Structure 1
Amino acid sequence: MLSADYLPADLSFFGMYPISIVFVIFALYLLRNKYGHGISKIPGPMLVGWTSFWRVNNIRKSQSHKTMIDLHRKYGKLVRTAPDVVDVSDPTMIPEIYNIKGTFKKTGFFSLTELSWKGRPRPNLFSTTDETFHREQKRKVAHAYSMTSLLEMEYAVDDCSRLFMQKLGEFADKNKTIDLGAWLQFYAFDVVGELTFQKKLGFLEKGDDVDGIIKVIGMGLFYTVTVGQVPAWHKILLGNPLLPIFLPQMERWNAVLEFTLKAFNSRISRSHIDKFSTSSPTNGKDMLSRWLAVSSSDPLKMSTEDVVVALSGNVFAGSDTTAIALRAIIYHLCKTPSCLETLVKELDDNEYRLSETISYKESREYLPYLNAVIKEGLRIHPSVGLLLERHVPKGGAVISGTWIPAGTKVGINAWVLHFDENVFEQPERFWPERWLISDEKKLAEMEKSFFVFGAGSRTCIGKNMSIMEIGKVIPQLLREFEVELLNDWKVNNAWFVQQTGLNVKLRKRARQH
């Protein structure tokens, strides 16, 4: 056996100083993180340049939206939050970072939301980082999300609203406390069911989380936002390509896919695929029917896989974002009685104009204060509370007057923009009037900073679904019930800024005639 005296000099060195070598390598790694990305002069918390640990820990605390508001107030428009990440709070950069051409591409964070089906990941409109794929897929489904198409299913939304009011009435009759936040999500999920599958999904009827899907989505989001801060971790965790080989049953863990296929198969069993037609006045207006009609006539244009992936997107994100907005509006109205009184008076004054179940058109045309309330609710509590990350393209870019190298992750957080004191006077104040009394210049400034649905080619495709639901159910609820808030809520940010504990007492109102 050779002794160390006979080892080559380089091997002998490594053998004698293993700890020192590891230390040097680690030190070089940290120095590269701090100074090797070309953003070392951008301010931020002490540890952010050296490691991503600060960012992961910030997410873990579930209050990242508040932290980032404070950091931007301290440091300005650009804040470094990781070795290769810069948070931006400049509304003039929205057209640059989120341009229509999609030159600032989505980061690996979004890939974590892909569902796994038949042994491989299936990208969707939200998750894909490929702009060409996104354009092709959006072209197939976008028409179904237009307000014109959605209003063809308004009668189904009305049916959900009537059932919702009936269920709330039962609580009011018994003078029982109700977790209104949970019921608002049940309503939103059943509306998604009607618009997507032309069937309620059972949330309102059951008064509970059907198949535990709401809980599972929440758990999935927690994994996504935590691991997504360092996407490389996903490749050795749930994104490990070996997992489907050694654990083929893993697909069954994908509750969103299972839930979607259950609704899909239930609907198909009631009507043969060839009968789906958008020409029928009673059939074919929901998204499943529209897309299956295309798929059955031209499978190359839209495959069954395309249909299922698109449907899954509605299940995954279609209820959470709307429910968050509904909770925010009700909560802040209850916390600001003068605003609630003004809105109820507007409803009473326009009673003669409103249908038994308020239509979206009526809410837009006759209820200006309602629309200001909705706008302010979306401003003060955006549904998404993290950075909409993008990669700086090849050649780098000037962001807020600072050159940022290619490959750096940059993006904007709606909460930071919406709480900018330079744009929104007293941003912590729920003040719908700001959208009615501001002059044209101020209103335009606020609109440029309104970022609740994102911007550019990747604007939230479900925007119109959410706007229609909110515009219909908020006035219907306040028209029929007095709402007494019993406690403050709790807010946790895991991508979606979820609220829990919206406990209220309801009393039926005497309708004005």
Structure 2
Amino acid sequence: MTKAKTFTKPIRDRPETILSLNREDHSKFRRALSHGFSDSALRQQEPLIAKYIDLLISRLHEEYDNGKKRCNLEAWYNWTTFDVVGDLVFGQSFHCLENIDYHPWIESIFKSVRFSAIMIALTYIGLGELVQIIAKCGSSLRRARQYTRNMLNVRLAMEGKRDDLFEGIAKKRDEWNISFEMLTANAFILVIAGSETTATTLSGATSLLLSHPDILEKLQREVRSSFKSADEITITSVNKLHYMLAVLNEALRLYPPVMAGLVRTVPRGGEQIAGRYVPEGTLVEVQQWSINHSKDNWNDPWAFQPERFLATPEAAAKDGDKLESLQPFSAGPRNCIGRKYDRIASFSDFFVYNKVT
């Protein structure tokens, strides 16, 4: 089923992105991007990621007197993930951690996301023509696009091969005749998808851990007993921390960064969905929040219980937990290409709890 344009492209004159492309073009773009998201690329990018995480930790110690003062970790997580992904897409940091503030481009992004949500809502209720008029006057969208253009110009002017998230598309620019505006739109999507979602997951995990000190203590014991020094901490090694990964899965279940919005349109002639006929033109979606909090899928669905993810799928099912129903990165050929970057969240989480708490 095709993506519903109401949700993926409410402003019609905007270029297509990997979110709204048809199936054939989406597959082509995804293949071009795939190298930057591979295990080998991730290992090459690890020093860059670690640099920003180390900077996060040092700044937290400096600003909050080694934990004696309160801080807004949500903002710090956003600053870190935007700095990381900015470097991985544009080859340059937003310098949020250095300046302890949001870059103007990021502020314009948040405003444009809110603006886009309003445009989607208006389109949904049948005011699509009004949306096209309003979009031409939207200052936040214009500022976000201009900032993106400026940074993309710098990225494209860089010499030599870069094993980053944008290299795959950049190399195909001439061969596929990709317009600069289309490159800009996809760079924008990559930054948003790779930053704010990770920061949201970390914020949710932190909130849940701080409200469950027994689970936090158990996580700290696992982390601190697993390594002799910080030098042993790598993206590969933290994946051996089974309890930490269970904590992150449970945080993704209770606090999904994408709750809904992956809406499709039922094709001509209608379709059978879950054993029921659904007529053509109907908007349908898999609603993450509802699935993650349904008693049909989880035993005590509102409780924070990381242990449910330590069991085998068979054992968990006997206890009322259908582990396969957790799909925070979607499923199928259009699932999140950056799902492996969930390990960045694990990496960040580890450093924060090991060095700060």
TM, length-normalised to structure 1:
0.63
Q: Distance in 1 between matches of 2:232 and 2:56?
A: 12
Summarize deviations over 1:42-69 as a string: whole Å, max 9, x none: xxxxxxxxxxxxxxxxxxxxxxxxxxxx
**Matched length:** 351
Shift of 1:170: 1.3
Matches of residues 2-81 of structure 1 in structure 2 within 5 Å?
none
Q: Is residue 112–residue 141 contact of structure 2 (8 Å, CA) maintained in 1? A: no
- The 2-side partners of 1:481 and 1:176 are apart by 12
Structure 1 partner of 2:219: 343
Q: 1:406 aligns with which of 271, 280, 293?
A: 280
Alignment correspondent of 1:333: 209
Cα deviation for residue 372 of structure 1 reads 0.5
| Shift, 1:302, TM fit | 5.8
* Residue 122 (structure 1) aligns with: 15
- Structure 1 position 219 matched with structure 2 position 114: yes
- Residues 324-368 of structure 1, C-alpha deviation per residue, up to 9 Å, x if partnerless? 10101111011111110000000111122x543721101112x11
Normalization by structure 2: what TM-score? Answer: 0.89
Distance 1:360 1:472 in 2: 6
How big is the shift at 1:291?
A: 3.8
Helix, strand or coil for the counterpart of 1:403?
strand
SS at 2:14 equivalent: strand
Which of 349, 352, 356 is the equivalent residue of 1:477?
352
CA contact (8 A) 2:35 2:168 kept: no
Query: Matched residue of 1:317: which SS?
Result: helix
Counterpart pick for 2:289 among 415, 427, 445: 415
Report what 1:176 is aligned to.
69
Map 1:376-455; keep pairs closer than 5 Å. 376-438=250-312, 440=314, 442=316, 446-455=322-331
Q: CA offset at residue 252 of structure 1? A: 7.9
8 A Cα contact 1:276 1:290, kept in partner = no
RMSD: 2.6
Contact 2:7 2:120 in 1 (8 A): no
Shift in alpha-carbon separation, 1:346–1:243, aligned structure 2, 3 A: closer
CA contact (8 A) 2:204 2:251 kept: yes
Spell out, residue by residue over 1:448-486, the C-alpha distance to the aligned partner (whole angstroms, 9 max, x if none): 211211122221223223x0211101011000112xxxx
Q: How does 1:74-473 map to 2 (within 5 A)?
A: 104-112=1-9, 120-128=13-21, 130-173=22-65, 175-211=68-104, 212-230=107-125, 232-237=126-131, 239-240=132-133, 253-268=141-156, 271=158, 275-277=159-161, 284-295=162-173, 299-301=174-176, 303=178, 305=180, 306-352=182-228, 355-356=230-231, 358-365=233-240, 367-438=241-312, 440=314, 442=316, 446-465=322-341, 467-473=342-348
The offset of 1:188, in angstroms, is: 0.9
Change (3 A) 1:202 1:472: same
Distance across 1 between alignment mates of 2:193 and 2:299: 31
After superposition, the Cα gap between the structure-2 partners of 1:475 and 1:122, relative to the gap in structure 1 and judged at 3 Å, is same
- Aligned AA for 1:229? Y
Identify the residue that residue 90 of structure 1 maps to in structure 2. Answer: none
Does the aligned pair in 2 maintain the 1:291–1:302 contact within 8 Å? no
311 and 229 in structure 1: CA distance in 2 versus 1, 3 angstrom threshold? same
The CA deviation at 1:377 is: 0.6
Inter-CA distance 146–221: structure 2 relative to 1 (3 Å threshold)? farther
Q: Runs of 4 or more off by more than 4 Å in structure 1? A: none
Alpha carbons 1:390, 1:409 under 8 Å: kept: yes
Paired amino acid for 1:473: S
What percent identity do the matched residue pairs reach? Answer: 24
Preserved contact between residue 268 and residue 280 of structure 2 (Cα < 8 Å): yes
Unaligned runs of 5+ in 1: 1-103, 278-283, 483-513
CA gap of 1:147–1:254, structure 2 versus 1, over 3 A, is farther
Paired residues of 2:34 and 2:168 also in contact (CA < 8 A): no
Residue 29 of structure 2 contacts residue 169 of structure 2 at CA under 8 Å; is this kept in 1?
Answer: no
Distance 1:253 1:433, change over 3 A: closer
Amino acid at match of 1:163: L
Q: CA deviation at 1:433?
A: 0.3
Which structure has greater helix proportion? 2
How far the C-alpha of 1:163 sits from its partner, in A, is 0.7
- Contact 1:195 / 1:287 at 8 angstroms: preserved in 2? yes
Structure having the larger proportion of residues in strand: 1
Cα displacement (A) at 1:426: 0.8
Q: Which residue does the alignment assign to 1:48? A: none
Q: CA deviation at 1:300?
A: 1.7
d(CA) in 2 for partners of 1:125 and 1:321?
17
**Other structure's SS at 2:204 match:** helix
Q: Is contact 1:217–1:316 with CA below 8 Å preserved after alignment?
A: no
Q: 1:446 to 1:225 in 2, by over 3 A?
A: farther
- In the TM superposition, residue 437 of structure 1 has moved relative to its aligned partner by 3.0
- Residues 302 and 215 of structure 1: is their aligned pair in 2 closer, same or farther, counting only changes over 3 Å? same
